[in-house]
């Protein structure tokens, strides 16, 4: 759980501290008010990286407030590993960062240096950046996206949302390496064939030696050194060529390297098969829990209209009314179609946190603009849905929707104050 984040000259913030508590916190404000900057600060404080869908950060200097020389992020969090409070401080300078990690209220860091702090935080969380994102984040537009996808495409997107896409990406890298090794092996075979062809056209060592013997006899019989010398020079070049071809054919580049490449190819093929099977096995084990979580979320909101919510193995969803009759999602008129996908998307996070990791879960879910792309009618159930997410210790909602204030235990309102000025921050409970 995240307890506090203090920002100094980070993005739009000059000097601002945010206290985060258990329960639901809504961070509310119009576009450009700094809401996303708070999420980016959390991610950078923990992992020294920021994930953006639309663009990439070219350098850390982009995180420094305009006109300032450096930025600082200070984040307090409870580690799932031991439930103790830690404080990470990241200092951002152009082209480089530094970091210190403190335990509770101690003044001396327990770890220093960006990479060493990165490693220690991953150990304390029990997960890396990709796993943390899969367990905690529901990113902007994902709910609306699921509403518009076919069951097959929805399943593929849910794989990515579960964090299983990383295996497909790694499998692609292995496949690329396999292609490169295949080209190397083919190149070695071509070189060997070319050298063998040259060797077949050249005389053998015995034939060259016999030629030198004949040349010596000719020299002794004729005694004309000027006529013999060019022949001797030519024979020396032939002998060198024969020796060089034999040396190259016996070189490790054509023998040992090929054996090594073939062994590496065999290992890579086994790894590729393993990587391709992991997502299916993991998803199959998680699927019953996702069904259970999604059903509970949906019926908590629409239980007065529907008796059941069923997800098949292909992630096609069926609703049943109070009489037990199946209802098409297209026939549902009160935003149930979007709620179905909200339930399905958030169920991925709650199921992952409850059932997929050996240690304690992070205990936080971050909803980034969950109402994006939805009109007022199709999102009217959203406050109740957010309020019902009590299976995790902390829910952080980033939104421009004023109606989501009513579902929060704590509201942080951001009001832009014009170019170059920090937004006005108001906190209410």
How many whole angstroms separate alpha carbon 173 and alpha carbon 179?
A: 10
**Is the confidence at residue 370, as pLDDT, over 70?**
yes
For range 342-366, the mean pLDDT: 78
pLDDT of residue 332: 64
Residue 106 sits in the same domain as residue 12: yes
Q: How confident is the model at residue 166 (pLDDT cuts 50, 70, 90)?
A: low
Residue 116 sits in the same domain as residue 4: yes
Residue 119 sits in the same domain as residue 194: no
Average pLDDT, the chain: 82
pLDDT of residue 418: 80
**Is the confidence at residue 23, as pLDDT, over 60?**
yes
Could you tell me if residue 151 is inside a domain? no
DSSP letters along 296-363, please? HHHHHHHTTTEEEEEE-TT--EEEEETTS-EE-GGG--SSHHHHHHHHHHHHHHHHHHHHS-SS----
Alpha-carbon torsion, ordered 154, 378, 26, 401, to 10 deg: 120
**Is the confidence at residue 356, as pLDDT, over 70?**
no
The answer to whether 333 touches 319, Cβ cutoff 8 Å, is no
Long-range contacts of 406-409 (CB under 8 A, 24+ apart): 407/24, 407/26, 407/382, 407/383, 408/23, 408/24, 408/25, 408/26, 409/21, 409/23, 409/24, 409/25
Could you tell me if residue 382 is inside a domain? no
Residue 15 sits in the same domain as residue 107: yes
pLDDT of residue 16: 93
Model confidence, pTM: 0.69
Range picked from 72-81, 193-202, 324-333, 413-422 for highest mean pLDDT? 72-81
Could you tell me if residue 410 is inside a domain? yes
Give Cα separations from 281 to 164, 275, 284, 285, 290 (angstroms): 10, 10, 5, 6, 14
Could you tell me if residue 45 is inside a domain? yes
Residue pLDDT, tens place only, 200-232: 877 888 887 777 787 777 777 766 666 677 777
**Is the confidence at residue 316, as pLDDT, over 70?**
yes
Final residue of a domain: which of 215, 248, 269?
269
Final residue of a domain: which of 221, 253, 269?
269
pLDDT of residue 117: 94
Could you tell me if residue 191 is inside a domain? yes
Residue 100 sits in the same domain as residue 10: yes
117: enclosing H helix or E strand: helix 114-125
Could you tell me if residue 274 is inside a domain? no
Residue 121 sits in the same domain as residue 189: no
How many whole angstroms separate alpha carbon 379 and alpha carbon 373?
A: 9
Question: Which residues span the domain enclosing 245?
Answer: 173-269
Cα angle vertex 377, ends 372, 383, to 5°?
A: 65
How many whole angstroms separate alpha carbon 310 and alpha carbon 294?
A: 9
pLDDT of residue 38: 92
Residue 177 sits in the same domain as residue 122: no
Residue 180 sits in the same domain as residue 103: no
Residue 195 sits in the same domain as residue 252: yes
Could you tell me if residue 140 is inside a domain? no
Residue 198 sits in the same domain as residue 256: yes
Residue 9 sits in the same domain as residue 116: yes
Q: Tell me, what CATH number does 414's domain have?
A: 3.40.50.300
For 230, how many CA atoms within 13 A lie in the half-sphere containing its CB? 3
Final residue of a domain: which of 254, 269, 284?
269
User: What residues does 415 pair with on adjacent strands?
Assistant: 424
Could you tell me if residue 163 is inside a domain? no
Q: Count structural domains, the chain.
A: 2
Residue 21 sits in the same domain as residue 115: yes
Note the Cα 374 to chain centre separation in Å. Answer: 27
């Amino acid at each position: 759980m995240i307890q506090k984040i203090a920002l100094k000259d980070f993005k739009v913030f000059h000097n601002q501290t945010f206290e985060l508590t258990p329960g639901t916190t809504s961070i509310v404000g119009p576009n450009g008010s700094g809401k996303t900057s708070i999420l980016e600060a959390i991610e950078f404080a923990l992992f020294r990286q920021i994930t953006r869908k639309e663009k990439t950060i070219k350098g850390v200097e982009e995180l420094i407030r305009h006109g300032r020389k450096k930025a600082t992020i200070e984040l307090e969090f409870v580690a799932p590993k031991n439930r103790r409070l830690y404080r990470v401080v990241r200092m951002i300078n152009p082209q480089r960062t530094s970091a210190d990690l403190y335990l509770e209220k101690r003044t001396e860091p327990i770890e220093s240096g960006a990479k060493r702090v990165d490693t220690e935080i991953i150990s304390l969380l029990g997960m890396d950046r990709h796993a943390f994102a899969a367990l905690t984040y529901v990113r902007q537009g994902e709910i609306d996206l699921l509403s518009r996808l076919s069951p097959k495409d929805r399943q593929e997107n849910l794989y990515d949302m579960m964090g299983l896409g990383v295996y497909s990406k790694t499998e692609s890298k292995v496949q690329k390496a396999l292609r490169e090794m295949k080209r190397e092996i083919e190149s070695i075979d071509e070189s060997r064939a070319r050298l063998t062809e040259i060797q077949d056209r050249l005389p053998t060592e015995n034939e060259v030696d016999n030629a030198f013997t004949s040349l010596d006899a000719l020299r002794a019989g004729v005694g004309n050194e000027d006529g013999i010398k060019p022949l001797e020079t030519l024979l020396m070049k032939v002998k060198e060529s024969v020796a060089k071809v034999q040396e190259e054919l016996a070189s490790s580049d054509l023998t040992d390297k090929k054996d090594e490449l073939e062994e590496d190819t065999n290992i890579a093929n086994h790894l590729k098969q393993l990587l391709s099977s992991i997502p299916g096995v993991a998803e199959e084990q998680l699927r019953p829990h996702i069904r259970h979580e999604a059903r509970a979320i949906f019926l908590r909101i629409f239980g007065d209209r529907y008796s059941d919510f069923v997800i098949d193995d292909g992630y096609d969803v069926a609703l049943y009314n109070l009489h037990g009759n199946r209802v098409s999602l297209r026939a549902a008129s009160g935003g149930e179609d979007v709620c179905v996908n909200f339930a399905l998307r958030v169920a991925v996070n709650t199921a992952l946190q409850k059932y997929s990791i050996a240690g304690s879960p992070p205990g936080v879910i971050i909803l980034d603009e969950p109402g994006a792309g939805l009109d007022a009618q199709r999102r009217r159930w959203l406050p109740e849905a957010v309020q019902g997410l009590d299976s995790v210790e902390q829910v952080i909602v980033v939104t421009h929707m004023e109606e989501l204030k009513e579902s929060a235990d704590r509201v942080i309102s951001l009001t832009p104050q014009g170019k170059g000025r920090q937004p006005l921050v108001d906190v209410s409970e």
